[in-house]
A and B are shown apart, each in its own frame.
Chain A
């Protein structure tokens, strides 16, 4: 761990030897200097710049603090190293547009080290479970007994209305044959299945989709 005075001395020697990059014509935009927290100041009263410094660890999300020793993935320009001050290296503005792999903008002898927070799972291939869910052609609609739509997913836009109608019609069929209620209806076509069932005392669920994907429903209903 270098002390600030040593860093300042090293920077001055680099500038004197000419190996330090030229000072940009426009001074870099410095982040607002954090004021020291006063005694008795609660965290909510602190300025936002203090609370959201990039070096702080985020409290939520799947992110890791990584140390990239090679070229940094295309995640936007990485700030190049500017002149060192007593408080440490000052970051250049993000609009500099200098890629991290550009060696001319970096002082000699410094490793391209990036200490950004970034999501490690962005570049990961999609899990097969999620991909399978995308390909699914099964639609599900959930309604209350009063016909209020609670949930709907899948390509069959007609399913909530059909579920409501079939649920009422099936109840009338049940009562006409001497039963109190209809717990479920399952209709199997050549390629598709439509199933409606009670999911609890106040919820009705309708499902439709290809026969191959709803074979369990057919088996439960005794149609397979």
Chain B
């Protein structure tokens, strides 16, 4: 419940659509996404996000922050102790507010999810 409340804080930022947490191995740990995103589809996406980040780490660029630009939307990724916090947002989101808030949320996430 604490994790869900933390993720809901992100929705206070205008343009944020949803968020989820991915383990370093690609497992979907927590999600706070709109209903239209099915769990199975999101699990697959989470594992792909983890593969992208692992590939980068294997080549010497261990990502702390990352962004996927989809044109009409963005997926912002922040590394934390237990994995990666992913935030889905629209293209016009205020990246500065998102960056600061997501870092606070990632820091507040408990070690055991």
Contacts and interface: CB of A to CB of B under 8 A. Distances in A.
A208 to B, nearest CB: 6
Interface string A154-192: 001011001001100110111011111111111111101
A190 B68 contact: no
Interface of A: 156, 158-159, 162, 165-166, 169-170, 172-174, 176-190, 192-194, 197, 208, 221-223
Interface of B: 36-37, 41-42, 44-45, 48-49, 51-53, 55-56, 59-75, 88, 95-96, 99
B66 A185 contact: yes
A221 B75 CA distance: 11
Which one of B59, B60, B75 has the highest number of Cβ atoms from chain A below 10 Å of its Cβ? B59
A185 B74 CA distance: 10
A174 B61 contact: no
Contacts of A180: 70-71
A29 B44 CA distance: 81
Nearest to A189: B61
The 6 closest A-B pairs by CB, nearest first: A222-B95, A176-B45, A179-B70, A187-B63, A187-B66, A194-B61
A12 to B, nearest CB: 78
6 contacts: A159-B59, A177-B37, A179-B73, A186-B66, A187-B61, A223-B65
Contacts of B64: 188-190
B67 A165 contact: no
